Amino acid sequence: MATQVKVPTQEAVPPRLSMRLGLRGWVYAGRYPAERYLYILHRLSGLGLILYLPLHVWVTGRRLQGPEVWQQTMAVLSRPVFVAGEMLILAAFVFHAFNGFRLLFGHLGCALGKPAHPVYPYPVALHRQRSMTVALMVLASAFLAFGVWNLLTK
Amino acid sequence: MAKLTGDTESGVLTLRVARYNPEQDEAARPQEWKVKILPGMTVLDALFAIKEEQDGSLAFRCSCRMGVCGSCGMFINGKPRLACNTQVSELGSVVEVAPLPNHDAIKDLVPDLSLTFSRHRAVLPYLMRRDTAEMESPTREYHQTPEELARYVQFTYCLKCSLCLAACPTAATKEQFLGPQALGQVYRYVADSRDEGLAERAGVVDASHGVFGCHLAGACSEACPKGVDPALAIQLLKRSLFSGPPHRSAAQVVPAFPEGHQTPEAAVRPKAPPPSV
């Protein structure tokens, strides 16, 4: 008599609840320190600059259509709402550039210190960049102030 | 949103837990309990108090109860923490507890860590040598100085609790991202002077879902309960991918003791008398 082989059946896995945060996970920094907020600002400013780029190309492209069209465009762009927009773009650019230097140093493992035996309270390497971060943000603010002053007085 | 209730001065703590029963629920539902605060009480103690005295159906995972096993990772008051390592006195009168973000919840506060473990395995977390014969059947020891040990020892403290993955903003949006735990462990082996596996591991981590998916938010290092600092390990790993591991050459095998060496125990131990017939 042939023996019946019992084929193991795979039990149905009960449904799992996905706790993936999605966009909320990178937009909300909650109780994390400054570097986590700089991460959000860096992404937002980068996104803003990327979105501005096609507009910038379109505006400068108007120059090809003759001096009259260009004058018209410039007249539109001198309205307060566009000047304010220009300031925002400048702020995004200055912040992104200076914070980019900080990240560049970090990604190359510079100004983070060396690994060591962890002793409580545990140090976080990124905090060793704090003085550099403050210096870069002060520089960014100075550049931004100069740019805004330049925009308002031109 | 319901008004927060609870009072640590009166010795009562309100615990609001995100519950999920796969047989009944399609989403997490909040449930509140009040627990009497005891001296030195941790969030895990409070959960046990609920389970033993108020609702035996509450599910959570734990083992060592002293921050060593990494089983009780939860999202406590907006941060991933180990429940056994978190005193209720530092949290205020209302404590909100949910399963670890960026993971699947199996039931209530029990996260599915299988993805973390499979990613850990994917990055080849073991010593790799070219002298495979010596690795397989060792005849001597690999020589390593204390300075060489200091380059990676910090990263060996990883519990695989997955708190770093729960804190990581890249992991929140990018499902394929290997995550701070696995990437940190890659550097743990790359920085080990006994290891020669950088090229093999580079094949796994040199990608946008690998080491270059990290944008240095630093949340993983803030969340790590053991001071492993995965953000540091990942940045040093990026550097290693460009310029090689921190050690110039792999550790050499050396004899455990010089030729003819006798251990002090063997030298002092008196010889057994010859057997008398």
CA–CA dist A106, A117 (Å, integer): 21
Does residue A107 carry a pLDDT above 70?
Answer: yes
- Domain termination residue (choose one: B111, B129, B164): B111
- Compute CA distances A83 → A4, A55, A86, A142, A147, whole Å: 83, 15, 5, 19, 12
Does residue B272 carry a pLDDT above 80?
Answer: no
Does residue B200 carry a pLDDT above 70?
Answer: yes
* Domain containing residue B57: CATH number: 3.10.20.30
Same domain, B201 and B242: yes
Predicted confidence at residue B6, as pLDDT, reads 47
Domain range for residue B206? Answer: 114-251
When pLDDT is cut at 50, 70 and 90, the band that residue B250 belongs to is confident
Q: Is B12 helix (H, G, I), strand (E, B) or coil?
A: strand
Predicted confidence at residue B1, as pLDDT, reads 39
Same domain, B142 and B17: no
Same domain, B55 and B131: no
Predicted confidence at residue B178, as pLDDT, reads 97
**Measured between beta carbons, which residues in chain B are less than 8 angstroms from residue A124?**
218, 221-222, 229, 231
CA–CA dist B112, B114 (Å, integer): 6
Same domain, B62 and B143: no
Burial of A57 (0-12, 13-18, 19+ CB in 10 A): exposed
Choose between A4 and A39: higher pLDDT.
A39
Q: Which residue has the tokens 């949910």?
A: B98
| B16: in domain | yes
Predicted confidence at residue A10, as pLDDT, reads 66
Same domain, B246 and B191: yes
How far does CA A137 lie from the centroid of its chain?
A: 14
| A27: in domain | no
Q: Which helix (H) or strand (E) holds B18?
A: strand B12-19
- Characterize the bridge pairing of strands B29-36 and B110-112: unpaired
Same domain, B90 and B139: no
Q: How many domains does chain A have?
A: 1
How far does CA B267 lie from the centroid of its chain?
A: 43
Q: How many domains does chain B have?
A: 2
Domain range for residue A142? Answer: 32-109+123-153
- Average pLDDT of span B98-114: 97
> Which of B78, B152, B155 is opposite residue A30, by nearest beta carbon?
B78
Q: What's at B71, amino acid-wise?
A: S
CB neighbours of residue A106 within 10 Å: 26
Name every residue whose Cβ is closer than 8 Å to that of residue A47 and which is 6 or more positions away in sequence: none
How far does CA A129 lie from the centroid of its chain?
A: 18
Cross-chain residue pair A39–B222, CB shorter than 8 Å: no
* Domain containing residue A68: CATH number: 1.20.1300.10
| A38: in domain | yes
Same domain, B104 and B182: no
| B6: in domain | no
Same domain, B107 and B118: no
When pLDDT is cut at 50, 70 and 90, the band that residue B192 belongs to is very high
Does residue A11 carry a pLDDT above 80?
Answer: no
Q: Kindly state whether A118 is in contact with chain B, defined as any CB-CB distance less than 8 angstroms.
A: yes
Predicted confidence at residue B270, as pLDDT, reads 66
Same domain, B99 and B174: no
Q: Are B191 and B250 in contact (CB under 8 A)?
A: no
Find which of A11, A16, A17, A112 to mutate to test the B interface (most B CBs within 10 Å of its CB): A17
CA–CA dist A76, A79 (Å, integer): 6
- Compute CA distances B23 → A17, A20, A93, B108, B128, whole Å: 11, 20, 51, 12, 45
Q: Are B165 and B180 in contact (CB under 8 A)?
A: yes
Q: Which residue has the tokens 């735990």?
A: B181
Predicted confidence at residue A8, as pLDDT, reads 60
| A52: in domain | yes
Give the residue on A whose Cα is nearest the Cα of B158. A118
CA–CA dist A138, A140 (Å, integer): 5
Same domain, B156 and B226: yes
Q: Where are the alpha helices (DSSP H) in chain B?
A: 43-53, 114-122, 132-136, 146-150, 163-167, 169-173, 179-190, 198-205, 219-223, 230-243, 264-268
Q: DSSP secondary-structure letter at B271?
A: P
Same domain, B146 and B159: yes
Query: What confidence tens digit (pLDDT) does each residue in A50-62 have?
Result: 999 999 999 999 9
Predicted confidence at residue B4, as pLDDT, reads 42
Cross-chain residue pair B239–A108, CB shorter than 8 Å: yes
Does residue A97 carry a pLDDT above 90?
Answer: yes
Name every residue whose Cβ is closer than 8 Å to that of residue B155 and which is 6 or more positions away in sequence: A115, B184, B185, B187, B188, B191, B228, B229, B230, B233
Does residue A150 carry a pLDDT above 70?
Answer: yes
Does residue B144 carry a pLDDT above 80?
Answer: yes
| B124: in domain | yes
Give the residue on B whose Cα is nearest the Cα of A23. B173
| A1: in domain | no
CB neighbours of residue B192 within 10 Å: 26
Same domain, B140 and B242: yes
| A to B CB pairs, distance under 8 Å | 147
When pLDDT is cut at 50, 70 and 90, the band that residue A30 belongs to is confident
**Measured between beta carbons, which residues in chain A are less than 8 angstroms from residue B239?**
108-109
Cross-chain residue pair B221–A125, CB shorter than 8 Å: yes
Predicted confidence at residue B5, as pLDDT, reads 44
- Domain termination residue (choose one: B93, B111, B129): B111
- Domain termination residue (choose one: B111, B127, B147): B111
* Domain containing residue B159: CATH number: 1.10.1060.10
